[in-house]
Structure 1
Amino acid sequence: MSPPDYGSLRSDDDHWDIVSSVGYTALLVAGWRALHAADPEPVARDEYAEYFIHASADPYLTGLLGGPGTSEDETAFPRLYGVQTRFFDDFFASATQAGIRQAVIVAAGLDSRAYRLEWPAGTTVYEVDLPKVLDFKTRVLGERGAMPKAHRVAVAADLRTDWAVPLTKAGFDPQRPSAWSVEGVLPYLTGDAQHQLFARIDGLSTPTSRVAVGALGSRLDHERLTALESAHPGVDMSGGVDFSALTYDDKTNPDQWLAERGWAVEPVRSTLELQTSYGRTPPDVDVAIDSFMHSQYITAVKE
């Protein structure tokens, strides 16, 4: 069963909850993380992801969890989002090992890292997103008895506004080093909004602060995706969501933007390179997907 059409056109001041517009993409990705967690050898395991699917009662995603596929085509997007999850998990682990005790998850969506990862004592994790999204996550995990492994602070804010104000009011200290994740959100922001996002991160970051930026698709060619799905029918696990209707074509190049402002940027990696570094050989379908989605994963340290 397919969900309703969530691919409506965007507007500059649109809003959403977890089952509409951009919010539904977070639920869909949680579904893919849940499917990957069921893999015999996942590269990352999010044991909380399935809770969100069951709580949403979304018929399409609930159906996927009830009968997960096993072919390379059917597991492609769950596998690729498992790789993305591992990248950001490793980023925060490295940051805390370096002594950073202040983390900010930008556009947190249904990210459960505050609950999943082993955070050192004294770490605060700030989650920034729209109030309806944060409320849904807090409610679902609370009903399941989940407890965060760090001091978790939910910051209700729209990334298209000056979210630095509610973040600092919530206790974030711009005089202390911080670790920032910007996962998967950039395609859903205009180029100007992306610039403002990075400007605020830069303005709130002291030297030695770190940032990780990444998305499975830095851009999306809907026609090529449709062609791929025709050749590999099992790949189509989006339930009819047209991501190209939710994203913007104009974009900022994060690596260039950060380098020009004094951040030491590591070489940009693709999902294929990450898979190889995790000891996996990317299947042909993954190579085909990346040929037009152009994944980008970036880490940088402010000097």
Structure 2
Amino acid sequence: MTSTRRDGDTWDLASSVGATATMSAAVRAIAARAERSPVDDPFAEPLVRAVGVDLLTRLATGEAPPGDLVAPVAIEVAKVRTRFYDEFFLDATAAGVAQVVILASGLDSRAYRLSWPSGTVVYEIDQPRVLEFKTRALAALGAAPTAERRVVAADLREDWPAVLRAAGFDPVRPAAWSAEGLLGYLPPEAQDSLLDTITELSAPGSRIATESRPNPRPGDEEKTKEGLDRISARWRAHGFDTDMARLRYFGERNEAAPYLAGLGWTVTGSSTRDLFTATGLPLPADDDLRMGDVRYVVGTFGSSSAS
């Protein structure tokens, strides 16, 4: 499995960035099994099983315990993050936003598991192999979308807006956009370009949800890389070849909230700690990757002020 990022690289759900989507789904499956969990994702486990990576399958099904592979903080963060995006979409569509765009959708199954209002269209954007696999796997499970689902097979480094429009997206009507777990896998300039393009495609009343880390303090990135290297070493010891630090882009970048505010979005933000407090869950102490500092950002386009 190739882990190092390079220009023009591609992937499926068992390699490179695609494998991180499968790992995230495995963690969601673990989180969904927890007592009194706010996560309701019945498709996470069977989708991981369909990808066919043995270790991830055993983790997702509970055959193998998380042990030192999946830190408690990662499982707890999966709970609050999944709930955050679920509630974002349900709030937006309840307010009348009928177009939903899930960027880098991976094994996201919201088009199949959320109770969407009648008339909602969900556009899923990802690489062709990823979307083809997920569509086929969910059909084999007998699952049917709970909204009108349209796949947008496009690389975010290419002219994905043209493919999105060709699928029926109307930039004159408001949309709800998610960039979940995405920005850290983009170079800083590509992150800005993505947010610029989303803004260009957004009618007044559109909404966006994403996460971003605060810019690093001296020594922070080295600690994060060391933490990722330790995690990767544990996975490799169990036969899963990954190099998490080399999949991410580091360095100074614009934080999402002020950048979006500068583009005309009214922005609010909550830290991971805030989400834990709102959910009534404690943030675990073993937070080597500073997940507690991640900010979850919600924006509405075309409002008169930003906060």
TM-score normalised to structure 1 length: 0.88
What is the alpha-carbon distance in structure 2 between the residues aligned to residue 258 and residue 128 of structure 1? 21
Matched, 1:263 2:265: yes
Q: Give the whole-Å Cα distance in 2 for the aligned partners of 1:241 and 1:216.
A: 22
Q: Is the 8 A contact 1:185 1:215 kept in 2?
A: no
Q: Distance in 1 between matches of 2:238 and 2:207?
A: 33
* Alpha-carbon shift at residue 75 of structure 1 (Å): 3.4
Matched pairs, number: 292
2:129 to 125, 132, 137: 132
Q: How does 1:90-101 map to 2 (within 5 A)?
A: 90-101=87-98
TM-superposed deviation, 1:241: 2.7
CA gap 1:215/1:67 in 2 versus in 1, 3 angstroms: farther
Q: Measured at CA, do residues 263 and 21 of structure 1 come closer, stay the same or move farther in structure 2, by a change above 3 Å?
A: same
Residues 228/10 of structure 1: CA separation in 2 closer, same or farther (3 Å cut): closer
Query: Residues of 1 paired with 2:291 and 2:36: CA distance?
Result: 27
- Kept in 2: contact 1:35–1:68 (CA 8 A): no
CA distance in 2, matches of 1:43, 1:237: 29
Q: Are the equivalent residues in 2 in contact too, given 1:74–1:237 (CA < 8 A)?
A: no
Partner SS, residue 276 of structure 1? helix
8 Å contact 2:211–2:256 — kept in the other structure?
Answer: no
Task: Please state if 1:191 is matched with 2:188.
Answer: yes
Q: Give RMSD over aligned pairs.
A: 2.7
Q: With a CA cutoff of 8 Å and minimum separation of 6, indicate the structure with the bigger relative contact order.
A: 1
SS of residue in 1 equivalent to 2:299: strand
Percent identity over the alignment is 41
Counterpart-to-counterpart distance in 1, 2:30 and 2:56 = 10
Which letter maps to 2:30?
L
Aligned-pair CA distance for 1:228:
8.7
Which of 252, 255, 261 does residue 253 from structure 1 map onto?
Answer: 255
Change (3 A) 1:196 1:216: closer
Taking structure 1 as reference, are residues 158 and 225 closer, same or farther at Cα in structure 2, changes over 3 Å only?
Answer: closer
Taking a change above 3 Å as real, the CA distance of residues 225 and 141 of structure 1, as seen in their structure-2 partners, is: same
Q: Which runs of 4+ in 1 moved over 4 A?
A: 215-220, 225-230, 236-240
AA aligned opposite 1:133:
V
Question: 1:211·1:301 contact (CA, 8 Å) conserved in 2?
Answer: yes
Structure 1 segment 59-138 matched on structure 2, within 5 A:
59-64=54-59, 65=61, 66-69=63-66, 74-138=71-135
Q: Could you tell me which runs of 5 or more consecutive residues in structure 1 were left unpaired when the two chains were aligned.
A: none
Q: In the alignment, residue 253 of structure 1 is paired with which amino acid?
A: E
Structure 2: tracts of 5 or more residues without a match:
303-307
2 CA distance for matches of 1:94 and 1:20?
Answer: 34
| TM-aligned CA distance change 1:257 to 1:215, over 3 Å | closer
